[in-house]
A = this chain, B = another copy of it.
Amino acid sequence: MGRKTTIIETATRLFAQKGFAEASTAEIAETAGVAHGTLFYHFKNKQGIIQEIFTRAGSVYLRELRKSIAEYNTGMRQIEAALRFNEEYSRHHSQEILIFLRIFPDQLKGDAQSPEREFIDSIQQQVIAILHESLSAGIADGTIECRDIEETACVLNSLIFGVTHMSLMAPRYTPSLSEGAIAFCRQALQPSACAGKK
């Protein structure tokens, strides 16, 4: 495994544990077992490390989310899959997710139109788009009913974000939310029962 990859993995771990400002480049280098200067040979600066982590993690997440949803063929099942995938993913890739949850906010300084911000926004947009698609599919195949697709996609996205945040940041009092959240969403999205019974 190349030095660059080692650095990225070490940095991911440290950033997730301690936060961006609190993990110094010297510590990253030492933990990764490379010289301090080596960091700056492979990356322009400290920002560059986190940017690469963001970029890699973001694209992996999106790819796997899409793959995971693609296995199901009704809209409702896809939405459920998205929620389940998210719990699974945040369990197995907790460090990448923690980085998003922890460092994310600090990257969004003021309202500046930074490239980081655009990248992050773009990921959110894609997640919302994926949910939108599944909702549309669900409406088409009769497994879902909802007022406004776009709005519902945003709400779902927020719910996913909130649930992930809670289970990673405050797991002590917050038991696994996934099944609860899935039940909640199924209830909210399923077509009116009476209509179906008639």
> B-contacting residues of A (Cβ < 8 Å)?
17-19, 21-22, 101-102, 104-106, 108-110, 120-121, 124-125, 128, 146-148, 151-152, 154-155, 157-163, 165-166, 169-170, 172-175, 177, 179-181, 183-185, 187-189, 192-194, 197
* A102 engages B110 (CB within 8 Å): no
Residues A152 and B184 in contact in the complex (CB < 8 Å), given A159-B158, A169-B108, A194-B197: yes
Chain B contacts of A120 at CB under 8 A?
170
How many of these chains are in the complex?
4
Residue on B with the closest CB to A102? Answer: B105
Chain B contacts of A179 at CB under 8 A?
151
Inter-chain CA distance A163–B156, complex, in Å, is: 9
Residues A172 and B101 in contact in the complex (CB < 8 Å), given A109-B19, A180-B148, A187-B188: no
Closest 8 CB pairs of A and B: A162-B162, A188-B188, A158-B162, A151-B180, A21-B21, A194-B194, A102-B105, A161-B162
Majority SS of interface residues in chain A? helix
Chain B contacts of A105 at CB under 8 A?
19, 101-102, 105, 169
* B21 engages A106 (CB within 8 Å): yes
Whole-angstrom distance between the Cβ of A30 and the nearest chain B Cβ: 14
* B180 engages A152 (CB within 8 Å): yes
* B163 engages A155 (CB within 8 Å): yes
